Amino acid sequence: MTAELIIFVLLAVIAVAAALGMLLSSNAIYSALFLVVNFGVVATFYLLLGAPFIAMVQVTVYAGAIMVLFLFVIMLLGAERLRHPNQVLSWQQPLAVVLVMALLGFAGYVVSMQGLASPPVDVANTVSYGSPAAIGELLFREYLFPFEATSLLLLSAMVGVVVLTAVDARRGVSRGVSRDRRS
Amino acid sequence: MSPVIGIVIEAIIKSALMVFVLATAFAYLTLAERKIAAFVQVRKGPNRVGPWGLMQPAADGIKLLFKEEMVPAGADKVLFFLAPILTMIPAMVIMAVVPIGPDVELFGRSIRLGISDLNVGMLYILSVASVAVYGIVLAGWSSANKYSLLGGLRASAQMISYEIALGLSIIGPIILAGTMSLQGIITAQQQSTWYVLWQPVGALVFFLAGLAEVNRAPFDMPEAEQELTAGYFTEYSGMKFSLFFMGEYIKMVAVCAIATTLFLGGYLGPYVEQLPWLGILYFTIKTTALLFLMIWIRLTLPRLRYDQLMAFGWKVLLPLALANVVVTATATVLLG
């Protein structure tokens, strides 16, 4: 128990430090990398909770696919630095302070009402709960409709992107054809 | 000695052995590639250092160790230093779940030949493979060189595209074996037969996507010498360069080892039940045969163009892998 607690505290410090680094670094590449570290630590938390499937998916999807695409876009656009770091978004600073105060207030209220004690975790139950078979069972039996609806939504978004970019390509081709006819 | 400490010591010894074996494999794979290239091109190849040039890797290592380390003026120092390490580590740790032999008796205790056996082993391999791209992308960006940046961008696009086909191609063996553990997949192959016979399409897609994942010819767009000088590691020299070099070759070994486990029965072979140590020999022979195939392909095929690469990945490999998954799943349900 104590070993687990020590590991948790160490990881928590790393997670918070990485999150702060992500927010405070002025270079977007470093921000993205801090976020990757944060995702990695969260994956380790899932491992500690006995959910290796979720942990691996967390690394594969968030750290491995989404953040690589983020890096790709940042590098492609050469947008790693803000041009005027102090002028842009200056109006957001007072707003952020107000919102953080509100969040802390609500969180404090909830904690003071309920206390920090969480119901004891049934470890034997979590192991079967986090297994690939159990998650597949849940996704394809109990939550089949939401799952399929989400994938349909994602598919339509993808088709939408393809259509939007294909219109430009067709115009380009037709312009090219008319130019050819004139010549 | 409590059992936990015993397990930790066993894991440390096995990991150290694995690192040593992989580093040696890297050294002699470079020599093997040069020798095979020489054979294919009717040359002699390296033959001056030691008998048949067998000490050539040691000479290369000493040479690289004493080369000057260059850091470009505009480079991001931290990431420039970090990138080779980030390339190296995933290549090493991905082998942790690959069993290289059956359990053996040693010093009165049963020892698994393989560092660990995870029940989500295949997902572990996919997640390590998916973070392996960071080293290459960051090397490209931190070098402050246009060739390097282009190489890094190509690498990220290519590796994300082929990861999907790679991930789909391993679903076939997982469905057939009913488990994600690599040990479980080998045990299932012991009961039926090598999965390359049941999953020829899956094996082909896995091998091709694996070639693209490790940036080997004909998919070596990120480092295309003739157009990008050397792509993402243009600015690297000395030991940092050799870390990239090492990372690429160890990734080759890892892809071949995983392909052996998934499709060629891993360490299985005649008499392996009676003599468990034979398993390592069979595993090595199968992996080496696949490595030879990789080198042979590099020496035979020209590099793909960037648009051909993307078209092949998205329009050929992905539908093929998807159809393979559908057919395998349907057949498994219908035939039981």
Nearest residue of A to residue B140 by CA position? A75
Question: Cβ A65–B160 below 8 Å, yes or no?
Answer: yes
CB-CB neighbours of B94 under 10 Å: 23
| Main-chain dihedrals φ then ψ at residue B133, nearest 5 degrees | -75, -20
Task: Copy the structure tokens of residue B234.
Answer: 């243009």
Nearest residue of B to residue A66 by CA position? B160
Question: Cβ B130–A72 below 8 Å, yes or no?
Answer: no
Please indicate, yes or no, if residue A161 is contained in any of the structural domains.
no
Distances (CA, A) of B237 to B65, B67, B228: 10, 7, 16
Question: Cβ B126–A63 below 8 Å, yes or no?
Answer: no
Please indicate, yes or no, if residue A166 is contained in any of the structural domains.
no
Report ipTM (2 d.p.). Answer: 0.79
Please indicate, yes or no, if residue B182 is contained in any of the structural domains.
yes
Please indicate, yes or no, if residue A62 is contained in any of the structural domains.
yes
Residue A62's identity, in one-letter code, is Y
Q: pLDDT over 90 for what percent of chain A?
A: 17
Question: Cβ B149–A75 below 8 Å, yes or no?
Answer: yes
User: What string of DSSP letters covers A140-151?
Assistant: IIITHHHHHHHH
Q: What angle do CA B177, B180, B184 make, to 5 degrees?
A: 55
Residue B186, pLDDT score: 86
DSSP assignment letter at B70: P
- Using pLDDT thresholds of 50, 70 and 90, give the confidence band for residue A123: low
Averaged pLDDT, A75-98: 73
Alpha-carbon gap, residue A50 to A157, rounded angstroms: 34
Distances (CA, A) of A14 to A19, A40, B131, B240: 8, 10, 19, 27
| Main-chain dihedrals φ then ψ at residue B246, nearest 5 degrees | -60, -45
Please name the helix (run of DSSP H) or strand (run of DSSP E) that holds residue B105, with its range, or none.
Answer: strand B104-106
**What is the SS3 assignment for A1?**
coil
Peptide bond preceding B102: is omega within 30 degrees of 0, i.e. cis? no
Q: pLDDT over 90 for what percent of chain B?
A: 8
Please indicate, yes or no, if residue B266 is contained in any of the structural domains.
yes
Question: Cβ A68–B160 below 8 Å, yes or no?
Answer: yes
Least CB–CB distance from A132: residue in B76, B140, B180: B180
CA A101 remoteness from chain centre:
24
- At A11, which CATH number? 1.20.120.1200
Residue numbers of the domain that contains A34: 1-81
Residue B8's identity, in one-letter code, is V
Residue A104's identity, in one-letter code, is L
Residue numbers of the domain that contains B84: 72-335
* Burial class of residue B181 (count of CB atoms within 10 Å of its CB; 0-12, 13-18, 19+): buried
Contacts of B123 in chain A (CB under 8 A): 52-53, 56-57, 60, 132
User: What string of DSSP letters covers B19-52?
Assistant: HHHHHHHHHHHHHHHHHHHHHHTT---S-SSSGG
For residue range A45-73, list pLDDT tens digits in order.
888 887 888 888 888 888 888 888 888 88
- What is the value of pTM for the model shown? 0.82
Alpha-carbon gap, residue B310 to B161, rounded angstroms: 8
Alpha-carbon gap, residue B188 to A102, rounded angstroms: 57
CA nearest neighbour of B186 among B123, B127, B126, B121 = B121
Q: How many CB pairs under 8 A join A and B?
A: 72
Please, which residues have CB within 8 angstroms of residue B94's CB and are 6 or more apart in sequence?
B125, B128, B129, B132, B251, B254, B258
Residue A155, pLDDT score: 93
B114 inside 8 A of chain A by CB: no
CA dihedral A44→A47→A49→A50, nearest 10 degrees, is 180
Contact assessment for residue A81 and residue A27, using Cβ atoms and an 8 Å cutoff:
yes
Please indicate, yes or no, if residue A147 is contained in any of the structural domains.
no
A75 inside 8 A of chain B by CB: yes
A42 inside 8 A of chain B by CB: no
Averaged pLDDT, B268-285: 82
Please name the helix (run of DSSP H) or strand (run of DSSP E) that holds residue A85, with its range, or none.
Answer: none
For residue range B1-57, list pLDDT tens digits in order.
567 787 788 888 888 888 898 888 888 898 888 888 888 888 888 888 888 888 888
B81 inside 8 A of chain A by CB: no
User: What string of DSSP letters covers B257-280?
Assistant: HHHHHHHS-TT--TTTTT-TTHHH
Least CB–CB distance from B156: residue in A29, A57, A72: A72
Contact assessment for residue B209 and residue B125, using Cβ atoms and an 8 Å cutoff:
no
Contacts of B140 in chain A (CB under 8 A): 75
Helices B238-263 and B3-40: angle between axes, nearest 10 degrees: 100
Nearest residue of B to residue A78 by CA position? B141
Give B50 to chain A, closest Cα distance, Å.
43
Please, which residues have CB within 8 angstroms of residue A162's CB and are 6 or more apart in sequence?
none
CA A106 remoteness from chain centre:
24
- Domains held by chain A: number: 1
CB-CB neighbours of B150 under 10 Å: 19
Is B150 a residue whose pLDDT tops 90? no
Please indicate, yes or no, if residue A97 is contained in any of the structural domains.
no
Probe site for chain B from A38, A72, A127 (most B CB atoms < 10 A) = A72
Please indicate, yes or no, if residue B49 is contained in any of the structural domains.
no
Helices B146-169 and B133-142: angle between axes, nearest 10 degrees: 170
Alpha-carbon gap, residue B324 to B316, rounded angstroms: 12
Please indicate, yes or no, if residue B33 is contained in any of the structural domains.
no
For residue range A2-21, list pLDDT tens digits in order.
777 888 888 889 999 999 88
DSSP assignment letter at B95: G
Residue A180, pLDDT score: 45
Please indicate, yes or no, if residue B2 is contained in any of the structural domains.
no
Is B307 a residue whose pLDDT tops 50? yes
Please indicate, yes or no, if residue A180 is contained in any of the structural domains.
no
For residue range A153-170, list pLDDT tens digits in order.
999 998 998 888 776 555
Is B73 a residue whose pLDDT tops 80? yes
Contact assessment for residue B255 and residue B32, using Cβ atoms and an 8 Å cutoff:
no
